[in-house]
Amino acid sequence: SEIILEEVPAPQKLATYSFAFSADVSNGLLDDAEDEVASGRFVLLHEPGGQDTWDGEYRCVTFVRADVDSIMQEDPMLPENGWNWFLEALDTAGCVLTAPSGTVTRVASSSFGKLSPRSDEAEIEIRASWTPIISSPAEIMKHITGWCNLISEIAALPPIPEGVSAITSAKRR
């Protein structure tokens, strides 16, 4: 499996300064067997002087979604667990923050008519925002790392121990 990050256009009207990137997580298989298992978007907003609703000058606004099996999607604890995964991912990365807010959504899809050959699908979506408490611009990397940890968690990627590098196969084109 792999996570591919790509800069994308950031919202222009939410703050004076903004930066955004998207993430796509594949199953790590090659060619036709490759499939996206999770995706997301991370937006960093900066408003000099801050905004009252942010409790600070910066705001991280994020979205992640991942495929889950139908049993997991039906679990009534999935939303609470998803929110805990979000908070734990930031905590594990050493993030200091305030004013976290968001939603966790379970999605179940069934196809009909000409789409009926498709399998039923189940997903989890986490929309979250928080105010990072940072004393230097480099500290925002902790928040980006925490968010990458979250997308790895919901994509069910195995954790890589510190000091160990993942070995991936080269993509054939």
Q: Which amino acid, residue 25?
A: V
Does a structural domain hold residue 137?
yes
Does a structural domain hold residue 166?
no
Phi, psi of 166 (to 5 degrees): -75, 140
**97, exposed or middle or buried, with CB in 10 Å at 0-12, 13-18, 19+?**
buried
Domain count, the chain: 1
| pTM given for the model | 0.83
Does a structural domain hold residue 171?
no
Task: Name the packing angle between helices 78-92 and 140-154 (round to 10°).
Answer: 140
Q: Tens of pLDDT along 116-164?
A: 887 878 899 999 999 999 988 889 999 999 999 999 988 887 666 676 6
Handedness of CA 41, 69, 145, 50 (dihedral sign): positive
Does a structural domain hold residue 163?
no
Does a structural domain hold residue 165?
no
Q: Tens of pLDDT along 63-118?
A: 999 988 888 888 999 999 999 999 999 999 999 999 999 999 998 888 888 888 87
Q: Which domain holds residue 34?
A: 2-154
